[in-house]
Structure 1
Amino acid sequence: MLAQQRQAAILDRVRAAGGVRVSELATEYNVSDMTIRRDLETLAERGLLAKVHGGATTVSPGSAHEPGFAAKSVRQRAEKAAMAMRAASLVSPGDAIALSAGTTTAGLAQRLVDVPDLTVVTNSIPVADVFYRAGRPDQTVVLTGGTRTPSDALVGPVAVAAIGTLHLDMLFLGVHGMSERAGYTTPNLMEADVNRALVEAAERLVVLADHTKWGTVGISSIVPLDRADVVITDDQLDETARTILAEQVNELMVVSAQ
């Protein structure tokens, strides 16, 4: 297969799935990882896709654009893993917690499957599936109802009503973006309603957001920056953003992806 043919096929894959991984493409086309990276670089230079750690995703068109779960799962994988590890250390046996939708919180779920006597409330289908597959009998998992979004979140009045009667120890909130002006944001209006309900139900709010989320603004604000008790981010976040967050939240945790 010629390079141009392979690049056209890769672009079709990205547009169909929302994201691709270098390792998968290298296996499929029987070429080296370096060859695939050069292909992605060529396509990125033409503005046809966005290169991310370990792969590529579609180019985001604006504040209302909502990438699918698969597309987001290839972004900042090392950073998300480090943040999930730190977040898991905050959870104790017997806690009642909530995990919002998102790939970062799905990674956190994988680190919580061995915590005994845990009660987990979530509007995320992938998060619920992690606990379901683990099958630990002393864990209780509550999946809200609602309408499914591209990021596999359940949203709408059914989800909001289900959350409204709950009292939780802690919420782990994944966000689309965060900024000093807009606070924590999402590209989905109904998901913002669900996330606000989760915030109200929890005694403590922990936001998980890698460095790429700073300055990204979704169409709907969830809560202001200072509403978070803890923000967990990675060490690629610039100093200006760190200063702003440190002034706004009770505790800023910065982790290394190395």
Structure 2
Amino acid sequence: MWQEDRHQRIRALLATLERVSTERIMAELGVSRETVRRDLVDLEALGELRRVHGGVTRPADEAPIAERSHTHVKSKNAIARAATALVSSGQTLFIDAGTTTAILAEELAKLANLTIITNSIDVAQKMRATGEKTDTSNEIILLGGSISDRAFATVGGTTVAEILRYRADVALLSPVAIDHRHGATNFDHAETEVARAMVAHSDRVVILADYSKIGQCSRIAFCPINRVDILITNKKGADGPALLSLRKKLPQVILA
């Protein structure tokens, strides 16, 4: 069986099953374990699957945002505090939508004289000044566009076009996953286009990723590893091979 035929069979199995064992693939294709291993490595490099112990799964998706808001909360709080320490008065920041960036907004709201450009309605609400506007108040710009059916955020061509009007000092982004080969990746096309535009129009990129996202890969890359200036993650798993591989590629990794 030719390699592309094997790849198509593996794709078909994953389209039907969320997880497929190595033994099942060997039986379906009638090939050796080593041949299957090579095929899986190739398909993972393309972002079409994720290798796990004993087999493969579909590329990482995110749980519904209401569910994610209750997971890894302590880890996300620590990351948000570490990210806030990097921010300086007078800066313009891009912030995308996610549970980690929503927590980040609560920390940033304690600062002054920032310009926040975001597609996240949660971030905009949490950053909005509660008192009278002063010369040092933060300016909050909520990007227009269509409301996403996955998150409380704007997406689409209008959102991306608005991003292209601005230039930010820093983009603070929270992906679905990050690894040393594919960089930062997302599952949803519309959310990915927003993040990609923010990367392209920022001087620096800071990725906020709790320990569960390290070494993982979702289906669409939006920020190559050589474009990430700082990764902020958790101390948990600091000695793991996935984070060690990222450390070799990145200028700075902050453990919160």
CA offset digits 1:125-176 (Å, max 9, x no partner): 1101101263562211111112222122321100100000211111101011
Alpha-carbon distance between aligned partners in 2 of 1:162 and 1:99, rounded to the nearest angstrom: 14
- 2:135 corresponds to 1:139: no
Match of 1:148? 147
- 2:202 corresponds to 1:190: no
CA offset digits 1:173-229 (Å, max 9, x no partner): 101111233221111011111101101111110000011002332221111122110
Give the letter aligned to residue 246 of structure 2.
L
2:61 touches 2:176 (CA, 8 Å); kept in 1? no
> Larger C-alpha radius of gyration, 1 or 2?
2
Percent of residue pairs bearing the same amino acid type: 33
1:86–1:98 distance in 2 versus 1, CA, 3 Å: same
1:246–1:216 distance in 2 versus 1, CA, 3 Å: closer
- 2:97 corresponds to 1:90: no
> Which residues in structure 2 correspond to 1:24-103 (within 5 Å)?
62-63=58-59, 65-103=61-99
Match of 2:122? 126
2:60 touches 2:217 (CA, 8 Å); kept in 1? no
Give the letter aligned to residue 109 of structure 1.
A
Alpha-carbon distance between aligned partners in 2 of 1:102 and 1:136, rounded to the nearest angstrom: 28
Runs of 5+ unmatched residues, structure 1: 1-60
Runs of 5+ unmatched residues, structure 2: 1-56
Match of 1:246? 247
1:132–1:207 distance in 2 versus 1, CA, 3 Å: same
Alpha-carbon distance between aligned partners in 2 of 1:101 and 1:165, rounded to the nearest angstrom: 19
**SS of match in other structure, 1:134:** coil
**Alignment coverage as a number of residue pairs:** 195
Match of 2:12? none
Alpha-carbon distance between aligned partners in 1 of 2:186 and 2:91, rounded to the nearest angstrom: 27
2:214 touches 2:243 (CA, 8 Å); kept in 1? no
2:179 touches 2:215 (CA, 8 Å); kept in 1? yes
Match of 2:230? 230
RMSD of aligned alpha carbons: 1.7
Match of 1:55? none
1:113 touches 1:134 (CA, 8 Å); kept in 2? no
Alpha-carbon distance between aligned partners in 2 of 1:227 and 1:136, rounded to the nearest angstrom: 38
2:215 touches 2:243 (CA, 8 Å); kept in 1? no
1:99 touches 1:122 (CA, 8 Å); kept in 2? yes
Q: Which moves more between the two structures, 148-157 or 104-113?
A: 148-157
Match of 1:213? 213
TM-aligned CA deviation for residue 91 of structure 1: 0.9
1:118 touches 1:140 (CA, 8 Å); kept in 2? yes
Moved over 4 A (4+): none
CA offset digits 1:92-147 (Å, max 9, x no partner): 11111111111111111101112111100001111011012635622111111122
2:207 touches 2:230 (CA, 8 Å); kept in 1? yes
